[in-house]
Amino acid sequence: MKISWNDFVEQCRSCQACPLAKTRKNVVIYRGSVMAPVMFIGEGPGANEDEQGLPFVGQAGRLLQLLLDAQGFEMKDFHIANVVKCRPPENRVPTDAEASACKKLLGTQILLAKPKIIVLLGKTAYTLFTGDKTAKMTEIRGHFVEKNGYLIMPTFHPAYILRNNNERVKLWQDIDQVRRKAVELGLMAPLQQDPDMPTDRPSSK
């Protein structure tokens, strides 16, 4: 049965499929455009996200947005979400059971967003999304894998870059590669010139 975006949002907000529902302030569904060529998926909401009901609005999210802006991404070009939609207590890693409980909702979200490219932000998101617990992010990042009609790329989580700023160039290169692929597929317009990587840290506000 076909579901509308509004129905999907209501399903998320009323979900009681795992214990995270009891401790959340808000269900965190998405940020960006409902339908977009590129979808970014992290592991789960943090405190800022739980408070605002939007993913990637804390310092890591502001770093991600800084890089996306520099690469010419507009709101219509991206859809940002997480594997789980409720904040795990103390920002701990979501459990396999919590990810499994959210899996159907995430699947519906991907179908509704209709991305051609999916970017998995961080090892935890990659593991929860694929079930692969042995891969090393340093070896798999920056490489596209085609699965079920989607081009999937894992890369570093921006929170990791905040702690290891010398690795920022790798996340920047991966986002650049994603953008170039989107241009190649006719999903985004090419930039007039190659952008420079922002070197400033995002505001802590």
Tokens representing 163? 């702690």
Looking at the DSSP bridge assignments, the partners of residue 152 are 118, 145
Amino acid at 21: A
- Report pLDDT for 35: 98
Decide if pLDDT at 205 tops 60.
Answer: no
- Give every strand in the sheet of 145-147, ordered side by side: 31-32, 78-82, 38-42, 117-121, 150-155, 145-147
**How far out from the chain centre does Cα 20 lie?**
19
What sign results for the dihedral spanned by CA atoms 62, 28, 134, 110?
negative
State mean pLDDT over 21-34.
Answer: 97
| 201 belongs to a structural domain | no
pTM of the model: 0.96
Cβ(109)–Cβ(129) under 8 Å?
A: no
Question: How many domains, the chain?
Answer: 1
| 52 belongs to a structural domain | yes
| 1 belongs to a structural domain | no
| 194 belongs to a structural domain | no
| 36 belongs to a structural domain | yes
Question: What's the chain's Rg over C-alpha atoms?
Answer: 16
Helix (H, G, I), strand (E, B) or coil at 121: strand
CATH number, residue 111: 3.40.470.10
State mean pLDDT over 44-70.
Answer: 97
Percent of the chain topping pLDDT 90: 95
Instruction: Write out the H or E segment, with its range, that includes residue 60.
Output: helix 59-70
Residues 86-132 pLDDT 10s: 999 999 999 999 999 999 999 999 999 999 999 999 999 999 999 99
Domain that holds residue 147: 17-184
Burial of 197 (0-12, 13-18, 19+ CB in 10 A): middle
- Report pLDDT for 2: 84
Q: Which of 124, 119, 126 is nearest to 142 (CA)?
A: 119
Looking at the DSSP bridge assignments, the partners of residue 28 are none
- The residue length of the chain stands at 205
Mean pLDDT of the chain: 95
| 55 belongs to a structural domain | yes
- Report pLDDT for 1: 63
State mean pLDDT over 137-155.
Answer: 95
